[in-house]
Structure 1
């Protein structure tokens, strides 16, 4: 569920601007952080993406120039797919995208998050985050009436229904050692840079999911928690708790219940929108911009579509024959030579009259009645010598 997403540099910039405007009216600040270096139209677990999170004053070097009493949010690039444990010298984490996964932890269930030690520990240490994206992809099996040259499920793109507003997802992030050493330059009192060996770290994140809302359940039974209330989102960054998490779950499902009556492929009250996209993006190597662009699904027309509802009645055009020409009745009025009753009876004949056999000798006028004569009964006279003569009455 939600194993692909799209994040562009423009969306990250929009998210930073939205958070900055909110910070100006509240008691926290935004510290410049990482920007998206590339547009990622088909991002999969193991790929890098930009998230927003609170500055950890205790362990992060990002807090060295900040007052510990000031709440600060920054952005950084991390790998999608949580790596919960440190690597060691004897058993370092494997290198390469996606090699750090212990069990493909690219999402976490909100209903059991505080029951699992891996996730609850991160939440208790305020290692929470917001993930601004253009949208995410979900797949649905094609219906039987869909015309398609390619096999496989049909991907859909779920995005914000508002222009210039990213889709904010909530999640957790972590920072662990890989078990390897790296050499980095360290400034020596401004004189020159010296090389120093340090532990290598890897930073990863995961998104939090919940039950699918009624308007999206036709696509999948799970969905990421999409947050629209920035006050609640900021509370998740600075003061995360199970209570806050449940509020976010209720907002996601409650909002969707209000929107459940909307059209599946249209903007629903301006909050979320979804539509089918090209099946080519199902391949990890497909990175084109048209991954996010809508496509039209062609369907086979059903037999019912050839018939109008209720049965359309054909327009009748009646031609009058010469026998139905109007005649003067002597009072200055005209009347038809054919009576209405006769015309109705002719119409009622319909197809039966068309196939009725006709006598060639019969004229166009009504046929004459013929009388059937009964032949007289002949009296049978018994022959002489027959057996009947012996029983003849005297």
Structure 2
């Protein structure tokens, strides 16, 4: 059981995370293509999508040689400076803080070319500023391209996994930028429950009052911890191990309940952990299998969680390979669709369609078009 916040302390701080969804009607979502495809005719390979506090989408992408970040100004895409990372860097993650700070992580090659370095840079309003030296050197060469990134008020936080030696199990690490260096949150020896087990994908969630929720896969189990500013607290594991977990997402409601989404190569699962003193077990949040388009898609390759102004969890999902995306709201007893399922031209294998939810209740989807440009489309529920 755990208790990390009271309702009265959550209200003001959490307001920026709330998404307005009052009186959504079913039927087609209103679709608006946001400008021309970004990328300037380049073949976009990797992308990620986030939303600034004012609701404007921010997209990062790579053509395999350069990394760029662009923000929608209401009528056109505006590139944030020149390339956000050194030439030939490999894009990893994008995140935007509540103060509008834009941060990316990326991989560069070590001096001897044998492995990779994990780096971060922040947009200062005029240029991209590297955040110190490399966050990590993947000394064993076992980098996984699945880092997790959030931006807190006191600095960005990155989670990643790596092995100490080749063919050894991956260990989970978390560090935060303190303004001058990357500091470990807790121990720097790895956060695995069992160091002999392989750490898998992870996710971070920024909570009010400077707290951080962390979830990760380890040997098929989904472990969850809460950072209170000085130490990690173990929360109950998610039920029913999933052997092929490929995606995790976390958020929190205004009451302090945690919501966890877990996906593999089958239909995703969702759970809620209550914040009160009796909240000692994750409760299933049923109904995902009945959402239009999700069962046909089979799996999700990106997802976003948010909370609306009524405190109800929201879920957006996509599957680029099948050309599908969707939007749903938790009613308290089941997930119900917000609008009809979204359909678009399927993407080549390994090209994802990124999703994000805006504060006013719209769903943004970034996907490759038929010419391999990155097209961002906004879907707004009808009210």
TM-score, normalised via structure 2 length: 0.24
Higher strand share: 2
Q: Which has the higher relative contact order, 1 or 2, with Cα contacts under 8 A spaced 6 or more apart?
A: 2
Query: Which structure would you say has the larger Rg?
Result: 1
Higher helix share: 1
